[in-house]
A and B are shown apart, each in its own frame.
Chain A
Amino acid sequence: MEAPDGSDEAAGEGSWLDHAGRVAALYREHHGALVALLQCRLNSRADAQEIAQEVYVRLLAMDHMDHIDSPRAFLFRMATNLSVDYLRKRAVRAGLPPEPEEGDWASAPLPEQHAWAVQQWRKVQAALRELPAKTSRAFVLHVVEGRDFAAIARDMRLSERMVRYHVSNALAHCRERCFAPEMP
C-alpha cells in the first residue's frame, strides 16, 4: 500500500490512504499469529487464510480506526467473532454439529503429504496408547470428534477445566512423539 504522495489532493483520500497503510502494517505484523489463531479454531489452514482475508477486507472498508484503542486487540476480536460465525454456518450447512469435509489422503495434492499424514497418524495412535484412558478419551472426543469442552465434561463427569487439562496433556504428548527433535 503506497503512502500519500504529499500533493494537496482531496484530504479525504489522503486519510483513507493513511488508514489503508495502517491496515497493511497490521497485516504485515500480525498475519502469522492471526492465521495461527484461526487455524487453531477452525482446524483448517485454508479456511483460516480465507477468514484472515475477510478480516482485512472489513478493516479496509472502515473509514478509519481512530476510535479504536488497540487496533491489534480489535483485529483478533474480529477474527474470533468471524470464526464463531463461520463454524455456525458450517454447522448449518451440514444441518448437524460441525463435521469436517470428507478428507481423503489418497487424493492429497502431493504424494509426500499423503505419506506424511499416514505416518503421523500412526505416531498419534501409538502416543495415545501410552496415555491414561481418561486423557486419550477426552482428547479424541474433542480433537477427532469435534465436541466442545462442556459436552465432554458432562459426558465424562469432569469439570471443563479438567477436560481441557487432559486434552492439552495428550496434545503435548502427541506433539513430542510426532515432532520432537531427534537426539543426535
Chain B
Amino acid sequence: MDTPGSDEAIARAAADWWTRLREPEPSAQTLARWQAWLDADPRHAQAFEQLNALGELLRTAPAPRRRELLEEFAPRAARARRWPYALAAAAALVLALLGWWGGWSGAGRQAAPQRYASAVGENRDIRLPDGTAVALGAASALTARYGDARRDVELAAGEAYFAVAHEARPFVVDAGPLRIEDLGTAFNVRRTGQRVAVAVTEGRVRLSPAGAAGRLELAAGQQAEYDPRSGALSVSPLPAGHAAAWREHRLEFVNEPLAAVIANVNRYSRRPVQLADPRLGELMFTGTVNTTTIDSWIGALPHVFPVQVSSFADHVVLSSAEH
C-alpha cells in the first residue's frame, strides 16, 4: 500500500516508534533500533518531532478543549474524569515555585549566572527564574544574571524572543553594541555579530547603542536595526507575523546584506553556506527563508543574484557567477 520511503510510510513508522517509546520501560534494544531509524533519514527525525508537537498540543491544551474531544470520541471516560480547577491551579503553583527554587539553585540573594545555548537547527524554550519566557533560536547563546535589584541578560549570539514577566526589577538585554531595556514587553532580538535587530510585539523597549548618548524608544509594531558600520539605528514598521516568525520555521529579512542573511541561515543549516567572494555579502536581500527547506532556497539564489552554487557533502559555496 504505502511505498517505502513515502511520506505516509514515514509517518506510520514514526507513529509506531512514538507509541513504543511511551511504554513504561522501553528496552535498550528498542531504543537502539529507534535511534538507528532516526539516523537513517533526516525526514524520520522531522516526522517524529511533528508527532511530539501534536502530542504536546493535545495533552496541554486548555481543559475545555480536551474535554470536548473526550466527550466526542470517548464519552464514558470523559464523564468519569473531571478535575477541580483549584487543584490544577495549586499544582501549577507548586510547579512554579519549584521552578523558581531550581532556577535559583538555593543561592539566596545572589543567583549564579544561568547559561543557555542551543545547537544548530535546534530551537529551545526557556523559562527564566522570574517566569520570563524565552524562545531561543538555533545556534544561540544567552546568559541570565539575576540580582536583587536587576535582571540582566546577555545575548552572545543568535536570536531570542522574550515575553518578560512584569516586576519591579528592570529587565535588560545586552546584545553586543546594543542595550535593550524592557518597558512592559514582548520582543525579539536577533544578533548577527555586531549587527542587531529588535522587533517589538507588545509594549515598549528602550534602545541604547554603546558609545552613543542617544536613546530610542521602540513601540509594539516597530522594529529597529543597528548597523555596526554606520552606528545608525533605523526604525521601520514591523510587518504582521514577522516578529519571531523563526519559531514557525521562517526567517524574514528586509533589506539585509546577504552576509548577515547567510549567517542566520547557517544557524539552521546542516550544511553551512560559505561566500567565496566577500563582495557577494554586500548584496541586499529581502524575503523569507524557510528553515526546513534551506537547500531549495540556496538552489534558487542564482535566479535573483549573480551567484553560482557549488554543493559539497558538508558545506555549500556561493561564488560569483561567471558570464
Contacts and interface: CB of A to CB of B under 8 A. Distances in A.
The 5 closest A-B pairs by CB, nearest first: A172-B15, A43-B59, A168-B15, A109-B163, A103-B60
A11 interface: no
Given A149-B23, A178-B54, 7 more contacts: A72-B35, A77-B31, A95-B87, A103-B63, A112-B241, A117-B57, A144-B59
Contacts, number: 203
Interface string B28-62: 10011011001000000101111110111111111
B277 interface: no
**Interface bracket on A:** 35 or more
Nearest to B83: A99
The contact size tier of chain B is 35 or more
B69 A144 contact: yes
B123 to A, nearest CB: 9
A146 B15 CA distance: 16
Interface stretch (B6-14, B150-158, B190-198, B309-317): B6-14
Contact of A110 (B16, B20, B69, B247): B247
A80 B59 CA distance: 19
16 contacts: A32-B122, A33-B38, A36-B52, A37-B31, A43-B60, A44-B56, A44-B60, A45-B56, A102-B85, A109-B161, A110-B135, A111-B201, A112-B241, A112-B248, A155-B77, A176-B7
Interface of B: 7-8, 11-12, 14-16, 18-26, 28, 31-32, 34-35, 38, 45, 47-52, 54-63, 65-66, 69-70, 72-74, 77-78, 81, 83, 85, 87-89, 91-92, 94-95, 119, 122, 124-127, 133, 135, 161, 163, 186, 201, 241, 244-245, 247-248
B12 A168 contact: yes
Contacts of B7: 176, 180-181
Nearest to A135: B73
Contact of A41 (B21, B69, B74): B21
A112 B85 CA distance: 27
Given A43-B55, A121-B61, A180-B7, A137 B247 contact: no
Interface of A: 28, 30-33, 36-37, 39-41, 43-46, 49, 72-73, 76-77, 80, 84, 93-96, 99-105, 109-113, 116-117, 120-121, 124-125, 128, 133, 136-137, 139-149, 155, 164, 167-169, 171-172, 174-176, 178-181
